[in-house]
Each structure stands twice: as C-alpha cells, then as structure tokens.
C-alpha cells in the first residue's frame, strides 16, 4: 500500500476525510470493517481512524506503529483521548476546526525521502571564520545524493542564496514564512523554496530587515518540516543561539587557527556547555593555517573533524554564481566529505 488508510463508518466524516486527502494529493484506501483494518494496519504509510470506530479498534489491540491519527466531529471527550492512547495515536483532530491542520499533515504521507533528515548546524567560532561558505558547500555535496536544504539563520551573514548563486531563483524566503502558524507540510515547504536540482535554500529576501529574526515558533515549525522533507538539512547558524544548536543532530564549529580565533571558539563552546548543550555531537573544522589542529582541539574542548587549508579561487567561484564547491577534489571538498562521513557514522549509531 502506498497511500492512506481511512477507517470509519461515518459517511459525513468519510466525505470530509476524502476531501482533505484529495487536497493533499492522496487517493486513500477506505474500510468500515475492523477486521479488514487490522490486516491493512501495519502496511499503510499512515492511518486515520474515525472517532466512531476508535473504541472498537482499541479493544482489538492493534500493534504499535507510527503515523496513526484520530479524527472526529466537534470537541473530543476524555474517553476518546483514552482510546486514542490505547491505539498509539499521535494526534486527535477535531473537525471542522482542525481541517487545514490535518490537510498539512496528510501532505507528508508518501513523501518520505529516506526518513527524518539529519540536521547539521554550522557556526563560526569567530567572525569571518567561513561558516557560511562551509554550510553552502555541505549543502552542495549532500545534494549529490538526495534532497537537501540549506537554511540561513544568521541575519547578519552574507546570505546562503548569494554564496550559492541562487539569489535570483524564484521561491519563498523568510519574509513569507516569518509569521507561519500551525503545521507546515514538508512537501509544501520543499516545493516552495528556491531550488537547483536536489538543493533548496531558505534565505533572507533582499528587502527584508535582516536584523529582525522570525518568530521562534515559526523557526521550529520550518525546521521540523525541512527535516521531514529532506535527507539533509544544513543550518547556517548565528553565534550564541544555543536553542537552535540544540535542534541539530550535529554541530560543526569552524575555527580560524589564530590566537584570537581559538579563544573566541573556546568561549562559544563554554557557552554551549553552560546552556546544557550536548557537545558530544559537535566537532571542529580548522580553516587555514596557524595554530596546530591538536592544540586547537585541546584549547576549544572539541575534536577536530578535519583541517582545511585555504582554497584557491574560492571567491571567484562564488562571484561567478557557481557556489563554493566546484569539484569533488580540493580542500573544501575533502572537508565536506569528512563532515558528511561523520554524520553518516553518527546516524548509523543512533
């Protein structure tokens, strides 16, 4: 089965669920028989159970699975929530108020690029360390194997769309998403973003006041939708945003191997520790020459994932709109490969 399973005997409810499924681009399988529902239970990508059959289904004790939702008319009572817990439902949707929310949820059904995407945050240990360049290069490299998005969360940075040469690509920017409320569909987000092949970007529009970041709730919803709809999500992070770093599966700190660069990175890491961030998921990329990488690791308190010499003609490639990663060879390519290899190892161990 590649679609949605609807379980209900309520014709009015069924009509509404079919309408919402059609709006989400789905042709569901429908049953009003609990025995049939049990046979299809485990193989359906997602299940919506009508409130009218929920109690009977709960008594049958279906196996636990993901993506089970309950829908019914009006306010849900205590018994309905109790039965929803019994079948392992993730949500109880009260119609008609929850119709748009349920439609957004259903848009994700059958739209799985390989499970929840791994989120990699890139932050500069000091100003000018090259975090945006590395974030964009990671996006380019990851996009060679599947859907990837680079999200600009640093309003004072150079702009990931400009570094990737995608500032003229049509699509939504933070200005359109800043006031987002409710659930954002992963497919809707992916299709709305400026895109080149498998690589999408979410950046600040040229006319937006970039010193005013989006609402934190909107940011959380966008990051969640991005992870559902992409294999890799790369965040260009501002310094000092521990809450954003806590949402990353991996954090890469780009360090300039100078006395001031190392000292600044050490203060950043101390701040993460003070805020309770798990630095076991963080590592360093040492960019340039100067202080020995082992000494950098000791001073900052994080392992070095890779040391990256300066790359020739990097500025020229960006100015030409080619993005920082021009080939699979060279210092930047080797650095991105090392970071993505670390991500793959961590994902397998999770």
In this structure, which topology does domain 118-349 adopt according to CATH?
Rossmann fold (3.40.50)
Q: Residue holding tokens 């960019």?
A: 287
What was the pLDDT predicted at 209? 47
Per-range mean pLDDT, top range of 41-45, 50-54, 316-320:
50-54
Residue 180 has pLDDT above 60, yes or no: yes
Residue % of the chain over a pLDDT of 70: 93
pLDDT in tens, 148-178: 999 999 988 889 999 999 999 999 999 888 7
Helix (H, G, I), strand (E, B) or coil at 283: strand
Average pLDDT of every residue of the chain: 88
4-106: which CATH architecture?
Answer: 3-Layer(aba) Sandwich (3.40)
Residue 268 has pLDDT above 60, yes or no: yes
Q: Token pair for residue 53?
A: 């059959």
- In the chain the beta strands, taken as DSSP E runs, fall at 4-7, 29-31, 46-50, 68-73, 91-95, 118-124, 148-152, 195-196, 199-202, 232-236, 250-255, 282-287, 304-308
- Tell me the pLDDT band of 279, cut-offs 50, 70 and 90: confident
Residues of CATH 3.40.50.2300 domain(s) within the chain?
4-106
Residues of CATH 3.40.50.300 domain(s) within the chain?
118-349
């Amino acid at each position: 089965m590649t679609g949605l399973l609807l379980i209900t005997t309520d014709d009015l409810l069924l009509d509404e669920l079919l309408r919402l499924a059609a709006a989400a681009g789905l042709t569901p399988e429908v049953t009003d028989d609990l025995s049939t529902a049990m046979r299809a239970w485990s193989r359906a990508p997602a299940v919506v159970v009508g409130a009218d059959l929920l109690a009977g289904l709960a008594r049958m004790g279906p196996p636990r699975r993901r993506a089970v939702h309950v829908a019914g008319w009006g306010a849900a009572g205590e018994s309905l929530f109790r039965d929803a817990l019994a079948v392992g439902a993730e949500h109880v949707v009260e119609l008609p108020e929850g119709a748009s929310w349920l439609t957004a949820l259903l848009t994700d059904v059958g739209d799985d690029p390989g499970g929840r995407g791994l989120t990699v945050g890139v932050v500069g240990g000091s100003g000018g360390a090259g975090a945006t360049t590395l974030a964009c290069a990671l996006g380019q490299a990851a996009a060679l194997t599947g859907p990837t998005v680079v999200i600009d969360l640093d309003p004072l940075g150079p702009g990931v769309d400009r570094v990737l040469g995608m500032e003229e690509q049509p699509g939504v920017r933070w200005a359109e998403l800043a006031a987002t409320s409710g659930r954002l569909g992963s497919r809707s987000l992916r299709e709305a973003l400026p895109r080149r092949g498998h690589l999408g970007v979410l950046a600040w529009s040229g006319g937006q006041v970039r010193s005013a970041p989006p609402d934190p709730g909107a940011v959380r919803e966008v990051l969640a939708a991005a992870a559902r709809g992409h294999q890799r999500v790369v965040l260009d992070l501002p310094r000092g945003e521990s809450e954003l770093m806590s949402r990353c599966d991996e954090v890469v700190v780009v360090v300039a191997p100078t006395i001031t660069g190392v000292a600044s990175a050490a203060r950043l890491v101390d701040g993460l520790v003070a805020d309770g961030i798990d630095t076991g998921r963080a590592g360093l990329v040492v960019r340039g020459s100067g202080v020995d990488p082992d000494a950098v690791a000791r001073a900052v308190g994080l392992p070095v994932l890779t040391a990256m010499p300066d790359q020739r003609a990097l500025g020229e490639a960006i100015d030409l709109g080619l993005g920082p990663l021009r080939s699979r060879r060279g210092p930047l390519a080797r650095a991105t490969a090392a970071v993505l290899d670390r991500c793959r190892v961590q994902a397998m161990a999770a």
